[in-house]
Amino acid sequence: MTKIVVDTNVLLSALFSNQGGSFRLVQTALDYAEKGYIMNIVSVPLVLEYEEVLLRPKNKVQYPYLSENDLKLFIADIVSISHPVKLHFLWRPFLKDSGDDKVLETAVNGGASIIVTFNTKDFEGVEKHFGIRILTPKELFEQGVL
């Protein structure tokens, strides 16, 4: 089973629309979890970032059909179908954005082979230094990873 770390922007995109790779990725993770397979990896700092970003007022207006409680339940569902890891090694600062460092640290500590993000350029050098592929949700499916 391929281990992945999902960047916050992918979850945000999945909430904006039920079309496209982000929503498909969330649906696939749920389907895999029902079969007993866990592919997603999370850490406490990454989950806190999920909460902070998904609950921002400027983002919540993009999905007004979801209450704050719905969003918290969505995050809880993501966590429940993910493998939690403790961060034993920190790599900060490796990337320009500290939020991206949280994603990288989760991936490295959890043994992930892929980070799924829309900000692929923000993860420049990660594949070379850590052997972790950086893919968009669309690329993940186009390349047959899932």
For the chain, the domains span 4-142
Q: Has residue 54 got a pLDDT over 90?
A: yes
pTM of the model: 0.92
Average pLDDT of the chain is 92
| pLDDT above 70: percentage of residues in the chain | 95
pLDDT bucket at 126, cuts 50 / 70 / 90: very high
- With the CA atoms of 23, 25, 29 and 34 taken in that order, what torsion angle do they form, in degrees rounded to the nearest 10? 60
4-142: CATH class: alpha beta
* pLDDT confidence of residue 91: 62
Q: Has residue 92 got a pLDDT over 90?
A: no
Q: Which residue has the higher pLDDT, 95 or 132?
A: 132
**H-only helix segments in the chain:** 8-16, 21-34, 44-54, 57-60, 68-80, 98-110, 126-130, 137-142
Once rounded to an integer, what is the mean pLDDT over residues 16-20?
90
